[in-house]
Amino acid sequence: MTFSVATWNINSVRLRFPQVKRFLARFSPDVLCLQETKCPDEKFPLGDFAKLGYGHIAIHGQKGYHGVAVISRHPFQDQSKNFFCGKNDARHISATFEKKAGLSKPVTIHNFYVPAGGDIPDPALNVKFEHKLQFLDELAACSVTKDAKAGTRSILVGDLNVAPRENDVWSHEQMLKVVSHTPVEVRKFEHARASGGWIDVMRGFVPDDQKLYTWWSYRAADNWKAADRGRRLDHIWASRALEGAAQTMKVFKPSRGWQQPSDHVPVIAEFAL
């Protein structure tokens, strides 16, 4: 069966629920993974999603910051949360789908929000950047990565806050000293991906020599589209057990032009599961 997964850093699920509703009405993915929900669990709009046909939700939230959610049209078997860097912040949630979702074999969807890292790309001067680098190191060694390497059917999505390839940013040379594209971040990011044997699903559909963005800064204001100074911060990875399963991939850029938008846009992939 075809199983579609979307990922979107929504930058406040309650503030931007109208945009989410509009997106779901257009694309109806099986699963929507949100980051930066900025909402404690008890205030998450569960009922609003249920009215749209998405009554199965795994949430890991906190007040005002971070927060991740897996929102599904189908029941899931299990859910789990991982914590990183000794912090109790809400940066990971997973859900495992199997027979209740119409699948013959289980598949686990992991939703991550990697720390942004602040503005100064020096861990000695910027604790936020230090946190980001530590998070990437721990991602490379965590159970999620080990399970993928061991052969589980896994999909990892989210705002990973690193644009690893030259054409994942508007200017490789000018971005080398900007957080999200520095060599140390890219090295640790790619080490985490290689450690799990993760497949970069998006670049399987868009060649390396083509630009690919999912984020445009609010600082660009009204000319974000014309300037097109984007970055690919949002990613979809698949474990080697799902090699060849990705059938389609779409970056829905129009949502960046909606009223009161997130600075990220949704990414959708369809898998033959």
pLDDT of 213-243, one tens digit each?
Answer: 999 999 877 789 999 999 999 999 999 999 9
Strand partners of residue 154: 108
Q: Which one, of 107, 73, 98, 89, lies nearest residue 35 by Cα?
A: 89
Query: Which pLDDT belongs to residue 217?
Result: 95
pTM assigned to the model: 0.97
CA distance between the termini of the chain: 5
Query: Which pLDDT belongs to residue 219?
Result: 86
3-state class (DSSP) for residue 133: helix
Query: Which pLDDT belongs to residue 204?
Result: 98
| In contact, 75 and 55? CB cutoff 8 Å | no
The segments of the chain whose pLDDT lies below 70 read: none
Query: Which pLDDT belongs to residue 250?
Result: 98
List CB contacts of 232: < 8 A, sequence separation 6 or more: 163, 164, 165, 168, 169, 202, 212, 213, 214, 215
Mean pLDDT (the chain) is 97
* Matching residue, tokens 């990697």: 114
Query: Which pLDDT belongs to residue 220?
Result: 77
Query: Which pLDDT belongs to residue 229?
Result: 95
Ordered structural domains, the chain, with CATH: 2-272 (3.60.10.10)
